[in-house]
Amino acid sequence: MKRDLLLFACFLLFIMSAPQFFAGGYLMNVLVFVGINTMLAIALNLLLGYAGQISLGHAGFFGMGAYLSGIMTTTYSLNPWIAMPVAAVVVGCLAGLIGLPILKLKGHYLAMATLGLGIILFIVFNETVDLTGGPSGLSGIPNIEFAGIVFDSDVKNYYLIWGVTLVVMLFSLNLASSRIGRALRAVHDSEVAAQVLGVNARILKVQIFALSAVISSLAGSLYAHTMTFISPASFGFNFSIELLTMVVIGGLGSIYGSFLGAALLTLLPEFLRGANDYDIIIYGALLMVMVMYMPGGLVRGFPDLFRKIFKKKAESGHA
């Protein structure tokens, strides 16, 4: 427990000191996105890594959060502080309602159903032009204001987004090591065994699905208020896949892994500027290579690799 707290404190220090080095640069803007993506990756990881339930439609929940927040603050000129929780509650309720039938499905079928859900939401964002502005997007979304400070610069947004992300992280770390976290892992390993031991797997799965959707919605709202412009292109199937890649690369069932995956996949395109459109090839290859050779993700894969090399050396030393 103490070690966990120490690790989190180190991470907090690391995150909070980052602007000292990057402030003013373009990278600051990218780091804001790392924060948003970390939140999303953690949300998906709670579902996929802990409960073992796949979702290929999380970009849809992310988009719903963004659009609900965006529409409430522009068309109905509500305060973002009201719009964000309302959006989160609406998305959570919707996810719970859909989760009831959808989470009865397993494996491939669940993947297809959530994928379908994501695509339906994407089509709705595109087609309800009166509400969302359609393919040309929704602009003029106000920045968040708190105690007289308007969060309108990259540095300010960095602290805002990462503040929330760190809270989400701490909450998820706690959740993962709590009774609920253990129950989730039990469901992951064997639903029948978990149920025999008194875990209500069906309700638990729906709850974690809804929670995951709420976090995604929150990330969406924050995205809308920092970008001030949203369009459906950011919430399509490809983004769901990108989130999946982040979680798998970082490591299923590791909260810090989600940060690692999100950071890597958000920063990677910035370093591969020339290969602008081709980053999708790299995602595909990364997904395949990770699943084949490092199923535990970077967080567990590297220590394992070291151990293997070390072991081999020790063995050859004996011989």
Partner 1 sequence: MQFDQILQYTLSGLSTGAIYALIGIGFSIIYNATGIINFAQGEFVMLGGLLTLSCLELLQLPLWAAIPCSVAVATVVGVLFERLAIRPLRQPTPINLVIITIGGSILIRGLAMLVWGKDTHAIPPFSGDDPIAIGGATILPQHLWILAITLIIIVVNKIYFYHTISGKAMRACSYNRRAAGLVGIDVKRMVLFSFIISSAMGAIAGIIVAPLTMTAYDVGVMLGLKGFCAAIIGGMSSGISTVVGGLILGVLESLGAGLISSGYKDAIAFIILLLLLFIRPQGLFGKADSERV
Token couple for 15: 């995150």
Q: Which is nearer to partner 1, 277 or 315 (CB)?
A: 277
Binding mask 258-297 for partner 1 (x = CB under 8 A): -------------------xx-xx-xxxxxx--xx--x--
- Site for partner 1 (CB under 8 A): which residue of 23, 24, 82, 104? 104
Span from 12-20, 24-32, 38-46, 96-104 in contact with partner 1 (CB under 8 A): 96-104
Shortest approach of partner 1 to residue 120 CB, angstroms? Answer: 5
d(C-alpha 250, C-alpha 268), whole Å: 14
CA 215 to chain centre: 8
Residue 116 as a binder of partner 1 (CB under 8 A): the answer is: yes
Size of the site for partner 1 (CB under 8 A): 41
Residue 222 as a binder of partner 1 (CB under 8 A): the answer is: no
Asked if 251 and 299 touch (Cβ cutoff 8 Å), the reply is: yes
The four Cα atoms 81, 47, 124, 137 give a dihedral, to 10 degrees, of: 50
Shortest approach of partner 1 to residue 3 CB, angstroms? Answer: 29
List Cβ neighbours of 241 (8 Å cut-off, separation of 6 or more): 56, 283
Torsion angles phi and psi, residue 150, rounded to 5: -95, 125
Residue 228 as a binder of partner 1 (CB under 8 A): the answer is: no
List Cβ neighbours of 140 (8 Å cut-off, separation of 6 or more): 74, 228, 229
Q: Which is nearer to partner 1, 54 or 224 (CB)?
A: 54
Residue 97 as a binder of partner 1 (CB under 8 A): the answer is: no
Q: Which is nearer to partner 1, 195 or 228 (CB)?
A: 195
Token couple for 265: 């996949």
Cα angle at 109 between 106 and 112, to 5 degrees? 135
Asked if 36 and 217 touch (Cβ cutoff 8 Å), the reply is: no
Contact positions toward partner 1, by CB under 8 A?
Answer: 48, 52, 54, 56, 101-102, 104-109, 111-113, 115-117, 119-120, 123-124, 126-127, 237, 241, 244, 248, 277-278, 280-281, 283-288, 291-292, 295
